[in-house]
């Protein structure tokens, strides 16, 4: 089971949206995926349900309420590690995707220490350079703490969340600066398809199937047109996420059980 941890010391960087895209793409490929939501916002927990084909790890005992999270960070880190060990022991899954809170924490450090890949989303702007450096240094310290021989550069990836031909000069400069320091892959386009999937509580693949059916079977011409547009958005989002996952897989380090 590969463990991918989404970590950025800055909030609002797009961790949850990135994991929705990745989980959808992996599920669409027939992979078995588990989700561990350690973010107090609970975005992934709100997205998951029994019908979307992905299995969440129950985290009722985790103290993820705002305020409690910071106070009980050490206890949360211990519980998060226990959940990761249990997921590995259970087996039968190809991926464990972990979402974390957008600030430095012991919980985030634990997930980085045991992850196969640390995925740090960024829109590429120069304003995100410092938070990414903080995240990388935390990853470096976490690996050193457990005496891991893994080079953090080998497992740390900056995933660009903005991909557009018409990028501002500031975004382009920011991406070039990040690419000099880190391995960068990208990008996960922030799309309406992911927003739709999150709102409905399903994967991009299932939403695409629903939209395709609507485009074929709806009696209303407007409904058929809307169905085709939604299906196209989902298809492009899935292709994009699969492309980035392939780039990550090609450079992956050997799995070390947690």
Query: Tens-digit pLDDT profile for the chain (258 aa)?
Result: 999 999 998 888 889 889 999 999 999 999 999 889 888 788 888 887 666 667 777 666 666 555 565 667 888 888 889 889 988 888 888 999 999 988 888 999 999 999 999 999 988 887 788 999 999 999 999 999 999 988 999 999 999 886 554 456 667 777 888 888 888 887 777 678 888 888 888 889 989 999 999 999 988 999 999 999 999 999 999 998 998 898 888 777 777 777
Please give the Cα distance from 74 to 78 (Å, whole number): 6
Edge-to-edge, what's the strand order for the sheet holding 117-122?
Answer: 55-56, 33-37, 95-99, 2-6, 117-122, 156-160, 183-186
**Nearest of 72, 139, 83 to residue 108 by alpha carbon:** 139
Which bin fits 14, alpha (ψ -120 to 50), beta or left (φ > 0)? Answer: left
In sequence order, what are the residues at sequence separation of 6 or more whose Cβ sits closer than 8 angstroms to the Cβ of residue 113? 142, 143, 145, 146, 148
Token output for 200: 């409905």
The conformation of residue 254, written as its DSSP 8-state character, comes to P
Which domains are present in the chain?
A: 2-192+240-250 (3.40.50.300)
Q: What is the per-residue burial (b if ≥16 Cβ within 10 Å, else e) of 40-61?
A: bbbbbbebbeeebbbbbbebee
Backbone φ and ψ of 80, nearest 5°: -60, -45
- The 10s digit of each residue's pLDDT in 28-50 is 999 999 889 888 788 888 887 66
Please give the Cα distance from 94 to 43 (Å, whole number): 22
Number of helices (H), then strands (E), belonging to the chain: the values are: 11, 7
Is residue 158 helix, strand or coil?
strand
Please give the Cα distance from 156 to 252 (Å, whole number): 10
Beta strands in the chain (DSSP E): 2-6, 33-37, 55-56, 95-99, 117-122, 156-160, 183-186
Please give the Cα distance from 66 to 85 (Å, whole number): 25
- Predicted structure pTM score: 0.88
The alpha carbon of residue 10 and the mean position of all alpha carbons in its chain are separated, in whole angstroms, by 14
């Amino acid at each position: 089971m590969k463990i991918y941890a989404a970590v950025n010391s800055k909030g609002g960087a797009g961790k949850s949206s990135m994991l929705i895209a990745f989980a959808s793409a992996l599920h669409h490929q027939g992979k078995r995926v588990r989700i561990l939501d350690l973010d107090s916002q609970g975005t992934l927990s709100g997205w998951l349900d029994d019908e979307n084909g992905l299995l969440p790890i129950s985290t009722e005992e985790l103290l993820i309420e705002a305020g409690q999270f910071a106070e009980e960070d050490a206890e949360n880190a211990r519980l998060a590690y226990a959940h990761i060990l249990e997921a590995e022991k259970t087996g039968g899954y190809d991926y464990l995707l972990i979402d974390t809170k957008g600030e430095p924490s012991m919980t985030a450090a634990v997930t980085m220490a045991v992850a196969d890949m640390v995925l740090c989303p960024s829109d590429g702007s120069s304003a995100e350079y410092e938070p990414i450096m903080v995240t990388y240094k935390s990853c470096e310290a976490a690996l050193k703490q457990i005496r891991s021989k893994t080079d953090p550069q080998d497992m740390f990836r900056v995933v660009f969340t903005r991909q557009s031909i018409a990028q501002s000069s500031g975004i382009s400069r920011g991406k070039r600066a990040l690419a000099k320091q880190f391995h960068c892959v990208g990008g996960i386009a922030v799309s309406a398809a992911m927003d739709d999937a999150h709102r409905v509580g399903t994967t991009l693949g299932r939403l695409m199937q629903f939209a395709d059916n609507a485009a074929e079977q709806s009696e209303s011409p407007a409904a058929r047109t809307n169905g085709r547009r939604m299906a196209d958005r989902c298809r492009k989002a899935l292709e994009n996420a699969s492309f980035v996952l392939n780039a990550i897989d090609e450079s992956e380090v050997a799995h070390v059980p947690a």
